[in-house]
């Protein structure tokens, strides 16, 4: 597995070794020991989530606050998404900055997003199956949100605003105060 830290400390791109032949492919999608060694910290995932979305669906930007904060390991099983992580750690030199990466069923890349980050994605293909592991259980009262079109963040979602399909809940998100 190739592991690359992004410009946001603690946020990593993971690329598995894929073994392909005429029958198809095989790869180890998760190995707890190898994962923890690669990122240099102990993370114990307790919940797996999966979503299905069609082109233009934008989910985010979401995060969990306080004792319910979550680290996530995200990947796409089928399709193509632009995945975005925003550093919300006020003591971080990259506070308020974001990274984006294209995750696809073909490239099999994964993104590890540590606690203290907001997360969101938009579907670029006709549809996508999105999968992620969380190291803490979801708690509705601890949910925080940031509006996807926050001008401070200036995220290029790589799809026209007229094509975006955003939930009513996410349209009510607040803007980041930097």
Name the nearest CA neighbour of 82 among 149, 12, 158, 11: 158
- Please tell me which residue in 62, 63, 98, 119 is annotated as part of the active site: 62
- Please tell me which residue in 95, 129, 132, 175 is annotated as part of the active site: 132
Whole-Å CA distances, 34 to 1, 49, 108, 111, 135: 8, 21, 17, 15, 16
SS3 78: strand
Q: Which DSSP string do the residues of 5-17 spell out, in sequence order?
A: E-SSTT-EEEE--
Strand partners, 123: 81
Phi–psi pair at 78, nearest 5 degrees: -150, 135
Q: How far apart are CA 146 and CA 97, in angstroms?
A: 13
Q: How far apart are CA 100 and CA 44, in angstroms?
A: 24
Tell me if 163 sits within 8 A of 54, measured CB to CB.
Answer: no
Tell me if residue 62 is catalytic: yes
Tell me if residue 25 is catalytic: no
Active-site annotation, residues: 62, 132
């Amino acid at each position: 597995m190739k592991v690359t830290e992004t410009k946001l400390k603690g946020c990593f791109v993971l690329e598995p070794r894929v073994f392909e032949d005429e029958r198809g492919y095989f790869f180890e999608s998760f190995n707890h020991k190898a994962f923890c060694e690669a990122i240099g910290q102990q993370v114990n995932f307790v919940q797996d989530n999966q979503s299905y979305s069609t082109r233009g669906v934008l989910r985010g930007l979401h995060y969990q606050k306080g004792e319910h904060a979550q680290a996530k390991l995200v990947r796409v099983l089928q399709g193509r998404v632009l995945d975005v992580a925003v550093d919300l750690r006020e003591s971080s030199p990259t506070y308020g900055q974001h990274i984006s990466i294209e995750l696809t069923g073909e490239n099999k890349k994964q993104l590890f997003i540590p606690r203290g980050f907001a997360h969101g994605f938009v579907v670029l293909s006709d549809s996508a199956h999105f999968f992620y592991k969380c190291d803490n259980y979801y708690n509705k009262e601890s949910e925080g949100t940031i509006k996807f079109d926050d001008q401070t963040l200036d995220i290029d979602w790589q799809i026209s605003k007229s094509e975006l399909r955003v939930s009513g809940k996410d349209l009510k998100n607040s803007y980041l105060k930097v």
